[in-house]
Amino acid sequence: METANLGFALSSPMLLLEAGTRIISWHIKFSSVPAGFTDLSEAELKSAFYISINGEKEWIDLSDYECRCSDYSGYLHFQIEIPSEVEPIRGYDKKVFTDPYDTEWPVLRMILKGNEYPHLYEILSQCKVSLNNLQVTVNGLKDLVVQNELSPLDPTKPFQPFGPQPEEGAAFMVGYPEAFQKPLKRLTFKLQWDKLPNPSLYSHYIQYPWQIYNSSFRTDIDLLQNGNFNHRLKTQAFLFEYGDANLPKTISIPTTSMPTDFKRTLDKKSFSQFDHSLNTGFVRMNLRNIANVRNSTTIIKLGLRSGGFGHQAYPRLYADALIQRANESSPDKVIPKEPYTPTLKSISMDYEAQLFFFGRNSKKEGVERFYHIHPFGVAEQYTDNQLTDKFPLIPNYPSNGYLYIGLEALKPSSILTLYFQIAEGTANPALDFEKEELSFAILVNNQWQALSTSQFLSDSSGGLQYTGIVKLNIPAEATTENTLLTSGLHWLQVSFPYKKGVPERAGWFPGILDLKTQALSATFEDRQNDPAHYDQALAAESISKLVVKDASVKKLLQPFSSIKGMPAESN
């Protein structure tokens, strides 16, 4: 028999993870945990789940993960790494995948290996979820959108971020739509400079009238928000390593610099360059030069302007040096070197984003969606009151056994009759069963609504112990658009309660040979008939029409032979 899936899943735009080395950390806080939770080991938790996330065409296995729990804090923590060579994680395509997740965002599934870890099901199905903390970390993003004030740039080959003759305030923009639509916790840029004339820029600029060091070249970094670069992430970040400008330079922007009034944007559209219609998606780096004056006389005489990398000053300094060399008083005047035009060999970005969430409410307001994975479908879990609405981590099936009946063309607020043909004699004699133990429920918006005593009209099957008819009054609330089971049908659930110490009890029920709807019983009426007719059952299909026609009855079938026929006892 195929193993039934039980577990939970998450859908979120936080899981849009296009490239790089991607790490998902999902911290699930519980309001209460049962006995035994504290005994769960990291070793068994690490191997107890099948974890996957949707790719473009199929589910991607992520079963190499870390997991730990804490009884003191009441949480379960998953950490999952997606290597850089794994395909991009994009939105969930309902045309490609058959699983009924009603979402456009990526889906992360956690399916419990129930057969291998039955005790985990007993424990985790009693853990009540109170808060989710989702964090994603992406390292080594290289496919960035880069642009200076002149044009878009190609990050796959060396480029000039501030232009060919950068001056003070020159702008360089870096974009990546996926990252800047998330609540960022950390942002890091890694710069590898190219064609540097000297590891020490002080030596290179020694003939300039300013004291220019590696640390003189800096940048102010601003975040694009609501169409404006109005949030300062970092002021005067160094562009070069202090001791050796050839070394990779890392610019880190901590959590404290991130906007506290972050407003989420949900847009899967990509862009290839910056334009002023964009509300988010970029940071801007403005060039700063912080250099002390070395020779104010030269600056005043030549009318030099500080800032940038010296491109404005160089022609005048060069011409002045030639004039001085021509003058017999300064024949050894050193010609200043051409200014360095900053050129990036490569740029990469890392980011970390974090989001706390409860899940959508029943009005379907919100973005993140928490699902229960059931044997035949999924069901979203809603949180209307964050203090009181707690759902179990894994769907709980408290009864010992379940029978599901899908009904086509059923009309709510109508009478349903079900004929069960039972393989009598196949029940285990040890069943010890009362028919009142069976419960009937109808599916309403992915929730099982128990039928009341007034809606359970009759049962001639003895609780499915022998052939008979069950008659029910179906409530008006019954729905067909559900994801818990196949959509388009009304679903009836028959459940059999658990009895402590007898887990296999549901398997002791007799087998069901057939099930028919719109059933009724016909009882033989003796009109001085030959008693010998009781010796043989009335064969199937013997009855084909009503004695008195009824226009509402289109067709009459007798699919089975008669049962329980016997002559009256004689005195």
DSSP string across 474-504: E-TT--S--SSS-TTSEEEEEEE---TT-TT
Residue 331 token pair = 């024949």
Backbone angles phi, psi at 99, to 5 degrees: -65, 135
What is the pLDDT, as a whole number, of residue 117?
A: 82
The DSSP code sequence of 334-353 is PPPPPPP--EEEEEEEEEEE
Q: What is the pLDDT along the chain (571 residues), one digit of tens a residue?
A: 567 789 999 999 999 999 999 999 999 999 888 988 888 888 889 989 999 999 999 999 998 899 988 766 789 999 999 999 999 999 999 999 999 999 999 999 999 987 788 889 989 999 999 999 999 999 999 999 999 999 999 999 999 999 999 999 999 999 999 999 999 999 999 999 999 999 999 999 999 999 999 999 999 999 998 889 999 999 999 999 998 999 999 999 999 999 887 777 777 677 889 888 888 899 999 999 988 899 999 999 999 988 899 999 999 999 999 998 888 767 788 999 999 999 999 999 999 999 999 888 878 888 999 999 999 999 999 887 776 778 999 999 888 788 999 999 999 999 999 999 988 788 777 767 777 778 899 999 999 999 999 999 999 888 888 888 999 999 999 999 999 999 999 999 998 877 666 666 677 788 899 999 887 777 777 777 777 767 777 777 777 777 778 777 777 777 777 776 666 666 5
> Residue 136's closest CA among 17, 308, 249, 50?
17
Tokens of 467: 């052939």
Are the C-beta atoms of 31 and 127 separated by less than 8 Å?
A: no
The Cα 365–Cα 134 span in angstroms is: 19
| Token pair belonging to 504 | 């296999």
Residues 6+ apart with CB under 8 A from 450: 439, 440, 441
Residue 504's pLDDT is 67
189 with 173: CB under 8 angstroms? no
495 dihedral zone (left: phi>0; alpha: psi -120 to 50; beta): beta
Angle at the Cα of 478 from the Cα atoms of 3 and 514, rounded to 5 degrees: 55
Q: Tokens at residue 570, please?
A: 């004689």
- Listed in order, strand segments (DSSP E) in 33-102 are 49-54, 59-61, 65-70, 75-82
Cα distance between the two ends of the chain: 55
List the structure tokens of 396. Answer: 């709980």
Q: What share of the chain is helix, strand, coil (3-state, %, to 5)?
A: 10, 35, 55
Q: Provide the 10 A C-beta neighbour count for residue 80.
A: 20
- Contact 86/60 with Cβ under 8 angstroms? yes
DSSP annotation of 570 reads: P
The helix/strand/coil state of 148 is strand
Cα gap 372→389, rounded to integer Å: 15
Query: How many CB atoms within 10 Å of residue 337?
Result: 18
Output the pLDDT for position 558.
73
List phi, psi (to 5°) of 57: -125, -20
pLDDT at 362: 78
**Cα–Cα distance for residue pair 290/279, rounded to 1 Å:** 31
Is 51 in contact with 62 (CB distance < 8 Å)? yes
pLDDT of residue 500: 67
- Dihedral sign for Cα 40, 45, 48, 49, please: positive
**DSSP letter assigned to residue 413:** S
Cα 83 from chain centre: 18
What's the pTM value of the predicted model, to 2 decimals? 0.87
